Amino acid sequence: MKRYMGASEAFVQTLASRNVKNVFGIVGSAFMDPLDLFDRTRIRFISVQHEQNAVFAADGYARAKNYKEIGVAVGQNGPGISNFVTGVATSFWNTSPVLFITPDVSTMSKGTGGFQEVGLGQGQLQMFDGIAKSQFDLGNANRIAEMTAKACDDALLLQGPVQLNIPRDMFYHTAEYDIPMNNTGNVDSRQRAAPDDIAKVSNLLLNAKNPVIVCGNGVIKSESALDVAKLAKILNCKVATSYLHPDAFPANHPLALGPLGYQGSKCAMSYVKEADVILAIGTRCGAFSNLPQDGIEYWPGEGDERDVIQIDNNINSLRTTSQKYVKLQSDAKLASLDILQQIIDDQGEKSKKKREAVESDKEWSGHVAITDSTPGTDPAEMAPHNALFALSSICPDDAIVTTDIGNICSWANRYLRFNSSPSFLGAGGFGSCGYAIPAAMGAKVASPERPVIAYVGDGAFGMSFNEILTLKREKIGIVIVVFNNRQWGAEKKNQVLWFGDRYVGTNLDNPDFSRIARSMGVHGVKCKNVDDIIFAMQRALERQRDGLTTVLEVNLTRELTEPFRRDAMNLPVRHLDIYKDLTEIEESKTQQCVD
């Protein structure tokens, strides 16, 4: 039923109809008129310290809701919106349903190069071309409710960031508006593979001598881990998880191998290397995700005749992988159930082949339990793996953990274990630095009943610790673990291996992070050993229940693990006389920094 109202009222009422309860952003005059209505509409506006973090928080919110609700970010036109770009690209590769609202300059001033205009004319749309799933540019204020509804619905149905661009003058329009009904629950965006394709896949699996299953984010989204477990049981095969999705399959399941990829489970990679058929469910099989690790080339490359069956609901995930793969566009849950039923129909549940199984859980646990408790030369520091093992040992079963990009945070992949999802929010394929803290903030808003812990390196902490002010002001309690090894570790590793230990821009002269935290009004604790970590984390989790944030500064040695991009780095060869002595002929023998 149409009612006479202002465009701002129609806009806010439409957001409410799409179950929007929280919006992250920084206040700006371009959207102040609808902002004035938020409180009365019971929409919480969470004022952050930087617009990039608003999108990171919206991403964390959407992922903590298991991609079933949209995260929303808004900022001032011009510089506020240009600050969105990294966050939107992150959400694009995370396939997170995020609505980013971009108020624009007034209709009659577009293209004049006025105050806070991006480019000329369509600048605020062009900068997101290629990283937004869809874009809505409001050209007529009478359509504000319609466009807002479509943008919200697209974010959910397309599973990615969607832009809603609104010239600021249109908020002041009045008309008769009809708030569109929310019918997204009646739309099934899940794909289902054809029966002939299911039969082909089932036949490959039944005839395999040593199949393995790899679970990705699609398994998390479709809540199909238990269905995958049933399929694995009837095939008598093990299950690994894809890079940065260790929560896709329960780590305590007897068939679990652990995560693949950088700093993943050696047990998982060894098992996948020996598999003759790999069933990759709900994963885009990204090239970076499957690079050789620990000297193990486990993923089929050129000339490898092993079969890879890739199943994903997103057609774009299937377009970017090898043409040799057997590809099915299907929802992970539907595919798992269909393959399971096909195998039962073809062979019967009791006919599963006897295979030699790896003692996967035992091997995986044994590997990560190897720690060195010998103190370093400085008693105020500890080895990274000791700290990571201690943190994983005390992590609550129901916790959500966010991790930043970087050497130590990525090293945590080898130690963190999850038995349910969504529980792990990594920065994702875009590799955004500074993600963990704002994403944890969004996750805590989405799931206030769950403990939330952010892992962040000292470099990335410098990009995002401003959000401690938001956490304090908004009474959002999380635990922030800052790994202080006084360096940009991932990049320094490259200089160690290939650039003769010439450190340019990688050493950090850090302040006392725990004192900074206390000066910002939250708890700050310095941890110098494992006992400090365990005690401080226990107290921090208790405080979190009262809406209080704690920063744990963990002082580490400068020990570094493997480089991220061994595939993309080379020893430098210099030709000009001025640089010839900088030529390197071999990698560092120590593999560790010398300072």
All domains of the chain in start order, with CATH: 3-186 (3.40.50.970), 195-358 (3.40.50.1220), 371-582 (3.40.50.970)
Taking alpha carbons only, the member of 188, 245, 251, 256 closest to residue 218 is 245
Q: Distance between CA 589 and CA 497 in Å, rounded?
A: 8
DSSP state at residue 556 = B
Q: Distance between CA 37 and CA 13 in Å, rounded?
A: 9
Query: Hey, is 582 helix, strand or coil?
Result: helix
Q: Distance between CA 385 and CA 468 in Å, rounded?
A: 27
The pLDDT value recorded for residue 363 is 55
The per-residue pLDDT string of the chain (595 residues; one tens digit each, 9 = 90 and over) reads: 899 999 999 999 999 999 999 999 999 999 999 999 999 999 999 999 999 999 999 999 999 999 999 999 999 999 999 999 999 999 999 999 999 999 998 887 776 777 777 877 678 999 999 999 999 999 999 999 999 999 999 999 999 999 999 999 999 999 999 999 998 877 788 999 999 999 999 999 999 999 999 999 999 999 999 999 999 999 999 999 999 999 999 999 999 999 999 999 999 999 999 999 999 999 999 888 888 888 899 999 888 889 999 999 999 899 988 889 999 999 999 999 999 999 999 876 545 554 544 444 445 554 444 334 444 456 678 999 999 999 999 999 999 999 999 889 889 989 999 999 999 999 998 999 999 999 999 999 999 999 999 999 999 999 999 999 999 999 999 999 999 999 999 999 999 999 999 999 999 999 999 999 999 999 999 999 999 999 999 999 999 999 999 999 999 999 998 888 888 889 999 999 999 999 998 888 888 988 8
Taking alpha carbons only, the member of 227, 220, 270 closest to residue 245 is 220
Rounded to 5 degrees, what are φ and ψ at 364? Answer: -60, -50
Would you mind telling me the total number of residues written for the chain in this entry? 595
Q: Distance between CA 439 and CA 96 in Å, rounded?
A: 12
CB-based contact 488:433 (threshold 8 Å): no
Tokens of 75: 């900022």
CB-based contact 562:263 (threshold 8 Å): yes
Q: Distance between CA 21 and CA 259 in Å, rounded?
A: 34
**Where does residue 32 rank: exposed (0-12), middle (13-18), buried (19+ CB within 10 A)?**
middle
Q: Distance between CA 319 and CA 315 in Å, rounded?
A: 6
Taking alpha carbons only, the member of 578, 579, 582 closest to residue 501 is 582
Which residue is it, tokens 């970590």?
533
DSSP string, 466-486: THHHHHHHHT---EEEEEE-S
C-alpha angle 441/510/406, rounded to 5°?
Answer: 55
The pLDDT value recorded for residue 110 is 77
Q: How far is CA 499 from CA 506, 578, 580, 592, in A?
A: 12, 16, 13, 12
Q: Distance between CA 234 and CA 344 in Å, rounded?
A: 9
CA of residue 150 relative to chain centroid, distance: 25
Helices and strands (H and E) in the chain: how many = 22, 20
Tokens of 369: 């339990």
The pLDDT value recorded for residue 346 is 86
DSSP string, 540-552: HHHHHTTT--EEE
Q: Distance between CA 85 and CA 8 in Å, rounded?
A: 25
Q: Which amino acid is at 117?
A: E
Q: How far is CA 392 from CA 40, 83, 401, 416, 554, in A?
A: 42, 34, 10, 6, 14
Q: Distance between CA 244 and CA 105 in Å, rounded?
A: 39
Cα Rg for the chain, rounded, in angstroms?
25
Q: Distance between CA 193 and CA 282 in Å, rounded?
A: 13
The pLDDT value recorded for residue 370 is 38
DSSP bridge pairs for 248 = none
Tokens of 34: 């609808």
Q: Distance between CA 449 and CA 436 in Å, rounded?
A: 19
The CB-based long-range contact list for 346-349 (8 Å cut-off, 24+ gap) reads 346/202, 346/203, 346/206, 347/206, 349/234
Tokens of 345: 């129909």
DSSP state at residue 135 = E
Q: Distance between CA 405 and CA 147 in Å, rounded?
A: 36
pTM of the predicted protein model: 0.94
Q: Distance between CA 1 and CA 509 in Å, rounded?
A: 62
